[in-house]
Structure 1
Amino acid sequence: MRTVSAGANSPLAAVFETEEGRVFVKGMPSDSRGVASQAREAAVAPHVAGVAPRLLWHLPDAAGWDLLGFEYVDGRHADYTPGSPDIAATATLLTRIGEIEYPADAPARDVRAAFAAHIDDTADADLLAGTRLLHIDFNPENVLIGPDGPKMVDWAWPCRGAAWINSCVLMVRLIAAGHTPEAAEDCIAEVPAWRSAPPAGVGVFAVASASLWTEIAEQDPQPWKQDMAAAAQAWAQKVLATS
């Protein structure tokens, strides 16, 4: 067994060597409030098998632990810096995720509720509505680049909404990695969901995202959170200036 350092939401994250091969295991105490996120991830898993590591098993109470076992992906985290080939691979992954409907058997989490505190008008929030599955955290550590193509990990916080929102989330990450807002948009220009995104909806999400990341950075001013807040603000300014 070896522990995995990436990720901050699971007390247990480790790779186990078994007779059948390697298994990535994440988990937390069964009495933890966070087990709801593991239940969500388990519910979504069958629907993201083509874009995420396959869930092998879920043990909700194994000696006091809630455990998820995934197929092991021998890969590395994506590089979002300008010029990286991982960006095109991630855009392809984004396109595939955008084709997935939010599972009817998964706990309902609407993106409008997730961003409600940062959107003043209900009618504006409705521009984000949709039926597609959203990851909403394109942190490069959540994208594994491996021999079988890119895979999206950590589906603990899935949302239902408009497919183009995932493109917006990725763009903020690209800007934080060194792209200009214009260059970030160019990186995802061929993603079908982004090409059909309504300008008014994009404007609403851009402002809400800037507000959210500003709040996060003010509450916990770690450098990377400040970088994300600056990136979200830069993109919102660009969107508003061209709308």
Structure 2
Amino acid sequence: MPGRSADLSPGSADLPRLAALLTTVGRLTAGSVPIQRLGQRWSMTTWRDAARSGALLSGWQAAYAGRLAELEARTPGLVAGEAVQHTDMTPHNFLVADGGVRLTGWSWPALAAPWVDTALLVHRMIAAGHTVVEAERWADHVPAWWSAAEEAVSAVAVTVLGLWQARSRADPAPYRAQLAGAGSAWVRCRLGVPGP
């Protein structure tokens, strides 16, 4: 199908279309189709292991290790829900064509709160050049986002940061480092971590 990937950069004309699409996606339910719960997928112990061992933590992450571990432990419950979420918000999974946008590549669907895909796109938007405030302000255009508790969004940010840091260490690539950096900026802003 002809089209292009979504442009997530600041000022992109795709951003309102993406908000409208995620409004629709937030209403999807699985019916009788068995789909894994995101909480099961996100039951990792990345931050808890690091907090216990002190391994791979330095600077602000070492200072906030306990809070990072606490939020990670709460993430499965905080993202629980019955909405079908895509969970892979890479711009390449959005096909923009004929004035509309479609979400493709449904390889990792999960049952979760209806705002999770919006949170995951906030992370991608930060990586694309938005500030955390700008990206979260964009998310306000998606009604499901309004139901997300502050702690739940922070927990997703912490989990996403842990995932991308682990992936970047295991298989270094510039885009993984960029996504880890975006995750770090998001977590620091949400937790009020001072400094550059």
- Please give the TM-score of this superposition, normalised by the length of structure 2: 0.81
For residues 80 and 179 of structure 1, the distance between their equivalents in structure 2, rounded to whole angstroms, comes to 9
For residues 30 and 118 of structure 2, the distance between their equivalents in structure 1, rounded to whole angstroms, comes to 17
Higher helix proportion (structure 1 or 2): 2
Report % sequence identity.
Answer: 34
TM-fit CA distance, 1:190: 1.6
User: Counterparts in 2 of 1:116-131, with a 5 A limit?
Assistant: 116-118=43-45, 123-131=74-82
TM-fit CA distance, 1:241: 2.0
Higher strand proportion (structure 1 or 2): 1
- Which of these residues, 35, 38, 55, is aligned with residue 111 of structure 1? 38
TM-fit CA distance, 1:174: 0.4
Paired residues in the alignment total: 169
Match of 1:181 in 2: 132
1:145 counterpart SS class:
strand
- Which of these residues, 180, 196, 200, is aligned with residue 147 of structure 2? 196
Q: Deviations over 1:95-134 (max 9, x none)?
A: 11001113422x3311011111147565542111000011
Alignment RMSD: 1.7
Match of 1:220 in 2: 171
Is 1:153 aligned to residue 104 of structure 2? yes
Match of 2:17 in 1: 89
2:192 counterpart SS class:
helix
Q: Which runs of 5+ in 2 are unaligned?
A: 49-69
Whether the 8 Å CA contact 2:75–2:156 is kept in 1: the answer is no
Whether the 8 Å CA contact 1:125–1:204 is kept in 2: the answer is no
Runs of 4+ in 1 over 6 A off after TM superposition: none
Is 1:168 aligned to residue 115 of structure 2? no
- Which of these residues, 57, 77, 85, is aligned with residue 5 of structure 2? 77
1:130 counterpart SS class:
coil
Q: 1:89 to 1:212 in 2, by over 3 A?
A: same
Q: If you compute each CA radius of gyration, which structure gives the higher value, 1 or 2?
A: 1
Is 1:230 aligned to residue 181 of structure 2? yes
Q: Deviations over 1:68-113 (max 9, x none)?
A: xxxxx321111111111011111111111001113422x3311011
Whether the 8 Å CA contact 2:80–2:113 is kept in 1: the answer is yes
Q: 1:148 to 1:103 in 2, by over 3 A?
A: farther
Q: Choose between structure 1 and 2 for higher RCO, CA contacts under 8 A separated by at least 6 residues.
A: 2
Whether the 8 Å CA contact 1:213–1:229 is kept in 2: the answer is yes
1:216 counterpart SS class:
helix
2:84 counterpart SS class:
strand
